[in-house]
Amino acid sequence: MSASTFAAVHIVPLLGRVVLCAAFVPAGYAKLFDHSEATPAEVARVDAIGWRWTPPPNEGTAGAGEVVSGGAKRDDKAAGAGEAAAGATDGDAAKQAAPASAPASASAPAAAPGDAAAAGAPRLRGCDKLALFIDAAGLPAPRITGWLVAIIELVGGALILVGLFSRLWGLGLAVVMVGAISMTSLAALKAHPFIYGMDMDASLKFLVQAGLFVLAFGVFLTGPGGASLDALLFGGRSASARPRAAKGGGGSQAP
């Protein structure tokens, strides 16, 4: 086997699998195990979606409620300001009556303003945030799809590195990238065909997505290469090439 053939069969597929693992495993891990802050409306929407194939319609009642509650909060603030103005004179009189109490209250440590809010702030997994994104696009089964994408990225990215069931995981990762391109880059591609005139960040995102799709789909079409568990356990190109080589050798020796 020549050096170029060895590189094509063993080295290049292995490097492609390393890139796929480095790209997908951290993304899948973050979706499954990392939490980020969310609004109460987002948490309520995730609960409403549940594990249904067809989520309930999002009629925007939560947003209207937020507007109403925001107006109530403004009214409460106005009322609070009036109460503060009404009690300002009483506070001044109290300070004059008890001047020694001010230093004691001033010496008390003030609580950090964001501690209480951060302690009680709702949080969502990355795959649930992805489910909200899928739900906003109007696609079915958003929460199931979000968790499935995270599992394919984490498990598929790890197993494709060692080359176990590589064609299956290559197809799954390619489908994930098709979904990512359609949901994030397709609109920009329609506005700027062939990425000419596209924003630099948008064009780089699309090129990364397209490159990962090509690598994953290439593994699905051609296999993981010789340096893989699939080749070790199930044979592969080298095993299927042996009968042809033997057949060809026998024919050349025939009189």
Residue pLDDT, tens place only, 161-175: 999 999 999 999 999
Q: What is the model's pLDDT at position 59?
A: 67
Least-confidence region, from 33-47, 93-107, 150-164, 192-206: 93-107
pTM of the model: 0.70
Coil/strand/helix, residue 109? coil
Q: Tell me which range, 2-16, 67-81, 111-125, is most confidently predicted by mean pLDDT.
A: 2-16
CA contacts within 13 A on the Cβ side of 15: 5
> What is the full DSSP assignment across 205-221?
HHHHHHHHHHHHHHHHH
Token reading at 93:
């009189």
